[in-house]
Chains A and B, each alone.
Chain A
């Protein structure tokens, strides 16, 4: 299965959406549970199978899910599951839990439905660019298909009931993935993280903690799911992200006006290493891609696109590299394969 998945780059990597020079993409997740069975953490094996059967019955009969496939976790290799995690299609929780469980993945990888993860169902949707309402529209449409055939755990006061108390209510989490090298360089990130937390939202590092945030990649998400409708959640996530975008653009302008040579030097050195290195670890690769991405975004680097940076970022993740070089390759061989990929993609003729 991983071969077919690897051959097709995810649609949301296109790098063509709104504000794509800063926004990598948007992701939404929606948690739902069946009313008459305990949540997966307290489900017996046969109850988990019942959940899987009921959800599969809808996946198989509804035309919304015609182009996609269901993968039971038991049928996947460790490498496949790591690959799916890196593509944001499944979670560590799904892999680590027990019993009947799996994931439906749409062919274009823009949507997945996990069965028996923390909750009976967790739907996920991704888009390129800054399109939070589109993510919700997609999730809500999928949710409508399921709700016609399934009786959800819901009460008027708490809304949709979920295993984790931080998801109850709408069960909806909206995240915007943003590239913030300007705000990181200006040392404002930790202060922003605190103020965002105080506003019922969160700012997290995508590839590590906020304090180090390799690749200067962050995710802005709503923390509160109860007490605000989906429309309000979208409004607040958008408003908060819009403010961040304005601040990031201002920080980039300052970098350009106060020390353009410094910025050009970082971008140029990153490109030089990308073209000449023979061993690249993932964190170093993330750092190079961050400066190259910034160079493209501020129009100081020509001949490359945001899309190519997005694709190489996805392809240079550990499980993706391991998939390309084979199971037996050691850490040095993987670093060499990653460097190979960079040399080819950023070659002068490109």
Chain B
């Protein structure tokens, strides 16, 4: 079934809402659900609190089109408990409950892709690339804040990293080692 809001993506979530005392139900895609949750989150949610069960009740996870595990295959955690408590049981839960967790994570965090430290970043090129990403994001933030002093420093640092990366490409094209 197509999303009943954007009519573009496949509907993965059934969304129920009480309007004028009547329950209105729609099948929506995860993007539209996220937009809806962003609207619901502002103004009510307590800062810092783990995602509340209330928010999840509006979006019952079972779907007709996408089959998602309800129990983690490794630790046995159940999806409804995870959604209610805002806590998972083990590392594999993040994989087991995939889309359902994403909709919660989207409401809390800035983006759904990790940036920053990693346990074994011994590859010099990867380290530099990660640093470049961070510096570019910081440059955008400081320009937005009209902090031109920081922005100038960041621009210099970015140029330096880009030069180093380009130099490394020439020396060892395609090589993983820096």
Q: Which A positions have Cβ atoms within 8 angstroms of B? A: 33, 35, 37-39, 41-42, 118, 140, 143, 147, 151-161, 163-166, 168-170, 172, 193-194, 196-198, 200-204, 221, 223-232, 235-236, 239
Contact = CB atoms under 8 A, between A and B. Distances in A.
Contacts of B109: 168-169, 200, 224-227
Chain A CB within 10 A, most for which of B90, B91, B145, B147: B91
Contact of B138 (A155, A227, A232): A232
B103 to A, nearest CB: 11
B87 A165 contact: yes
B47 interface: yes
B38 to A, nearest CB: 11
Contacts of B21: none
B137 A39 contact: no
Interface stretch (B9-17, B57-65, B71-79, B163-171): B71-79
A338 B104 CA distance: 45
Nearest to B108: A166
A323 to B, nearest CB: 30
A-B pairs with the 6 shortest C-beta distances?
A: A227-B111, A159-B114, A229-B116, A202-B47, A227-B110, A153-B91
Nearest to B43: A194
Interface in B109-162: 109-120, 130, 133-134, 137-138, 141-142, 145, 147
A247 to B, nearest CB: 15
Interface residues of B, number: 45
A235 B47 contact: no
A42 B47 CA distance: 26
A319 B47 CA distance: 28
Contact of B88 (A155, A163, A202): A163
B115 A158 contact: no
A157 B95 CA distance: 11
Chain A CB within 10 A, most for which of B51, B87, B114: B114
A227 B113 contact: yes
A200 to B, nearest CB: 6
Nearest to A202: B47
B98 to A, nearest CB: 10
Interface of B: 42-43, 45, 47-51, 74-77, 86-91, 94-95, 101, 104-105, 108-120, 130, 133-134, 137-138, 141-142, 145, 147
A157 B113 contact: yes
Contact of B110 (A33, A35, A153, A228): A228
Given A42-B89, A196-B47, A235 B112 contact: no
B28 to A, nearest CB: 21
A221 B141 contact: no
Contacts of B108: 165-166, 223-224, 226
Contacts of B134: 229, 231-232
A33 B91 contact: yes
Given A165-B101, A230-B116, A230-B117, 14 more contacts: A33-B91, A35-B91, A39-B75, A147-B120, A157-B112, A169-B114, A170-B117, A200-B109, A201-B47, A223-B47, A224-B109, A226-B108, A228-B110, A232-B115
Nearest to A221: B48
A196 B46 CA distance: 12
Contacts of B105: 165, 168, 226
Given A42-B76, A166-B108, A202 B48 contact: yes
A165 B111 CA distance: 13
Given A158-B94, A227-B115, A231-B134, A165 B47 contact: no
A166 B85 CA distance: 11
Contacts of B87: 39, 41, 118, 163-165
A176 to B, nearest CB: 14
Nearest to B77: A42
A41 B138 contact: no
Nearest to A201: B47
Contacts of B138: 231-232, 235
7 contacts: A165-B88, A166-B51, A194-B43, A226-B108, A226-B110, A227-B109, A231-B116
B51 A229 contact: no
B112 to A, nearest CB: 7
Contacts of B88: 39, 161, 163, 165
A196 B90 CA distance: 31
Given A165-B108, A224-B109, A236-B141, A229 B94 contact: no
B113 to A, nearest CB: 6
Contacts of A223: 47-48, 108
B47 A164 contact: no
Contacts of A204: 47-48
